[in-house]
């Protein structure tokens, strides 16, 4: 199941409108959150309020931008965690894409008995 989720997240990253930031992504790098990546992430997130982002894995790097898969939790009691793709570099946050994946979608029942949620 984790491999399927990782594959879906990688595909979503590739489909995200990142062409503005770079031409080629190197996804052969280690997924480990190194001290260097953690320091860059912490610097980029300094002063950001409202959501706590915890880095989980590095998904790729292009030029000076690094894409990091994060667990995100809005700062209020009982908030449900979700995944986010956070693009950072030495200058700060480039972009954040929240990946809700049906967790907060409204469930819609269809005539054939299926729904839009798992």
Render pLDDT for 44-62 as a digit per residue (tens, 0 to 9). 999 999 999 999 999 999 9
Pairing type for strands 92-99 and 51-62 reads: unpaired
**With bands split at pLDDT 50, 70 and 90, how would you rate the model's confidence at 108?**
low
- Please say if the pLDDT value at position 69 is more than 50: yes
Alpha carbons 35 and 37: distance in angstroms, whole number: 6
Query: Reduced to 3 states, what is the DSSP secondary structure of residue 87?
Result: strand
What is the signed CA dihedral for 19, 21, 24, 25, rounded to 10 degrees?
-110
Q: pLDDT by residue (tens digit) across 9-22?
A: 555 655 555 444 44
- Please say if the pLDDT value at position 102 is more than 80: no
Is pTM beyond 0.75? Reply is no
Backbone angles phi, psi at 76, to 5 degrees: -160, 155
Q: pLDDT by residue (tens digit) across 78-97?
A: 888 899 999 999 999 999 99
Q: Which of 96, 92, 39, 105 is nearest to 71 (CA)?
A: 96
Q: How many CB atoms lie within 10 A of CB 115?
A: 12
Mean pLDDT of the chain: 80
The whole-number average pLDDT for the span 30-34 is: 93
Note the pLDDT of residue 118: 46
């Amino acid at each position: 199941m984790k491999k399927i989720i990782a594959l879906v997240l990688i595909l979503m990253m590739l489909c995200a409108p990142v062409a503005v930031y770079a031409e080629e992504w190197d996804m052969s790098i280690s997924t480990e959150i190194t001290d260097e990546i953690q320091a860059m992430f912490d610097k980029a997130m300094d002063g950001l309020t409202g959501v706590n982002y915890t880095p989980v894995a590095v998904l790729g790097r292009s030029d000076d931008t690094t894409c990091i898969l994060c667990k995100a939790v809005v700062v209020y009691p009982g908030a449900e965690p979700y995944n986010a793709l956070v693009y950072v570099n030495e200058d700060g946050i480039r972009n954040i894409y929240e990946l809700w994946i049906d967790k907060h979608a409204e469930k819609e029942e269809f005539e054939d008995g299926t729904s839009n949620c798992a």
